[in-house]
Amino acid sequence: MSTAAPFAFLVHPRGRIAQDLARIWRPLGRVPEGIVETAVRRLPPYAMSRILLDDRPVGHVVLVPFGARHLLSEPHEGRARVGRAIDHAARLGAGVVGLGALTATVTAGGATLRGRTDIGVTNGNAYTAAIVEDQLLDLVADLSDRRVAVVGATGSVGTTLVRLLAAGGSVDSLLLVARGAVKLQALAAEVGGRVPTTTSTDLHDVRGCDAVVLLTASADALLGAEHLAPGARVLDATQPRNTSPDLAAARPDVTLVDGGVVEIPGMHLRGGDIGLPRGQAYACFAETFLLGLAGHVGHFSTGVPTLDHVSHIRGLADRFAHHGFTAAAPASFGRPLAAAR
């Protein structure tokens, strides 16, 4: 019988570092970006907030002081920083650590950490793919045509989502988009027998689709007004975001929904927040949380999660449903969808 164990979740500054750090200490938001960036690089990893469930401490958010752009442009240094943050999580007594946002990307979805025996690692991507699938099916439920593009299809979350959608048979066709054609073709060959599947390395091709799911690991807002069909539905699960509020303003016909957000009503953070209101969490955070509640021992999702990982984590979400663990109500840049329209 497993018992709950403390867990830790790694985060890093996303777009503007000063803006993100102002969540911990507001005056930092007023310091010029270049100064903050230089100073932050010198910091060790640090436990920026306590995670509480029904006012009981259950874990820590650990900050990797290395921005999104640096993680992508200096992956070797990024991996070293992530390793040091995991050492810190282990010292804090965490049994399992979740890799938030690009800390997963620089460690190949945690695959480079499989050798660690002192702590369990998860990239959170099994539950992320499950929640994104739930949100997508909800988003296209009233459409008669369900041609779906997955941008970042060959990544850890993207591959798992594509496999789920193909297994579920609930979409009419898939367009798989990324920069690398070889991986795209291999994935299309794998799932193409179940659902008609095409591939593209050109984002403009998503214009032929009714719905677009964004799952790239790019630090730039990629999707523009020119990419989308009239009335398209967009689910953006990227961190940092690949859409900007300008897109919503330029294309009021498009429905743009925040992806990968989960309700855990009794949960809140003491210290800095991580960009979501009280009672909400990113799905990768929620996966780590579920593993902590279940007292999971050892690694969980690393690299590309299997559909067995997805079934297991969905089972834990059902087991702990009294704490929530369902997809958040649809919102766009944090505003409830009805209000955002």
Residues that bind ligand NAP (CB under 6 A): 101-102, 104-105, 109, 124-125, 128, 151-158, 178-180, 215-218, 222, 237-239, 260, 282-284
* Min CB(144)–ligand NAP separation in Å: 28
Instruction: Find out whether 124 and 288 touch, Cβ atoms under 8 Å.
Output: yes
- Closer of 171 and 217 to ligand NAP (Cβ): 217
| Six-digit token string for 326 | 């369902």
Nearer to ligand NAP, 91 or 204 (CB): 204
CA 65 to chain CA mean position, Å: 19
Q: How far apart, in whole angstroms, are the C-alpha atoms of residue 203 and residue 181? A: 13
Strand 120-122 relative to strand 147-151: parallel, antiparallel, unpaired? unpaired
Q: Which is nearer to ligand NAP, 49 or 302 (CB)?
A: 302
Residue closer to ligand NAP, measured from CB, 216 or 255 = 216
Q: Which residue is nearest to ligand NAP (CB)?
A: 155
Task: Count CB-CB contacts under 10 A for residue 289.
Answer: 28
Rank residues 38 and 306 by Cβ distance to ligand NAP and give the closer one.
Answer: 306
- Closest distance to ligand NAP from the beta carbon of 68 (Å): 9
3-state secondary structure of 21: helix
Instruction: Kindly state the tokens that stand for 64.
Output: 């990797």
40 by DSSP, 3-state: which?
Answer: helix
**Sheet bearing 261-263, strands edge to edge:** 280-282, 261-263, 326-327
Number of other CB atoms surrounding residue 142 within 10 Å: 7
In the complex, what is the shortest distance from the CB of residue 116 to ligand NAP, in angstroms, rounded to a whole number?
A: 18
- Residue 26 C-beta: closest distance to ligand NAP, Å: 25
The residues, any chain, with a CB within 8 Å of residue 242's CB and separated by 6 or more, are: 151, 214, 216, 218, 220, 221, 222, 223, 236
> Minimum distance between the CB of residue 14 and ligand NAP, rounded to whole angstroms?
9
Closest CB to ligand NAP among residues 239, 255: 239
Is the distance from CB of 151 to CB of 241 less than 8 angstroms? no
Nearer to ligand NAP, 128 or 255 (CB): 128
Residue 137 has phi, psi (to 5 degrees) of -65, -35
Min. distance of Cβ 143 from ligand NAP in angstroms? Answer: 23
Least distance CB 9 / ligand NAP (angstroms): 10
What whole-number distance in Å separates Cα of residue 280 and Cα of residue 96?
A: 20
